[in-house]
Amino acid sequence: MFAVFLTAACAVVSVTSHVPIATDVVIRATDEMSAAPDGTFMTGVFMTLTNDTGHDVTLVGGKSDAAPMVEIHEVVDGIMRKKEGGLLIKNGESAVLKPGGNHVMLMGMAQELAAGGEVTVTLAFDDGSELEVTGPVKVVNLEQEHYHSGEPSPSMSGM
């Protein structure tokens, strides 16, 4: 009995000490700007990840019931793209995932994501560890971030 109890206690410790801590998790509510050319929707997940694990970690991807695809993105010259190799968070440092910067991307969603609910995303790190984060779906201002690689076309939003 004692050995079983010890094993369970150790499992809890390993979960809390080897994964960064997520705070201020927000999922952006979709709108006409988040429609992909193939008719699906995509949106950003923003948060602060603080790495107190004792070692460097890299956020490499994730999964969510809300979307078939989850990618790690960066924004370069106002255009977002997949961040090759993932997002490195050095030990003792925090990574701020925000509009116009690095973010987690939910992709391939069949429906728009209305403000008001909650979404859970399981983040995956390069060492095989996972972190489940849940945040509210909110309207987030995206003026610094273009969701399409072409020029913004406000005139098309009414079509």
Tokens at residue 139, please? 């309207």
Return the residue nearest Cu ion (CB atom). 73
Q: Are 41 and 113 in contact (CB under 8 A)?
A: yes
Note whether 80 binds Cu ion by CB under 5 A: yes
Question: Least distance in Å: CB of 146 to Cu ion?
Answer: 10
Pick the closer one to Cu ion by CB: 42 or 89: 42
Residues 46-75 that bind Cu ion (CB under 5 A): 73
- Residue 33 per-residue DSSP state: G
Interactions with Cu ion, residue window 98-137 (CB under 5 A): 105
Which amino acid is located at 55 in the chain? H
Shortest reach from residue 73's CB to Cu ion, in Å: 3
- Number of residues in contact with Cu ion under rule CB under 5 A: 3
Burial degree of 157 (CB within 10 A; 0-12, 13-18, 19+): exposed
CB-nearer residue toward Cu ion: 56 or 58: 58
CB atoms closer than 10 angstroms to residue 92: 12
**How many angstroms separate the Cα of 99 from the Cα of each of 6, 10, 60, 74, 141?**
43, 37, 19, 10, 8
The CB-of-82 to Cu ion minimum distance in angstroms stands at 8
Q: How far is the CB of 43 from Cu ion (least distance, A)?
A: 8
SS3 call for 130: strand
Q: Smaller CB distance to Cu ion: residue 94 or 100?
A: 100
Q: CB-wise, 53 or 66, nearer to Cu ion?
A: 66
Q: Assign 3-class secondary structure to 58-98.
A: EEEEEEECCECEEEEEEEECCEEEECCCCEEECCCCEEEEC
Question: Least distance (Å) from Cu ion to the CB of residue 134?
Answer: 20
Q: Which of 57/104 has CB closer to Cu ion? A: 104
Residues making contact with Cu ion (CB under 5 A): 73, 80, 105
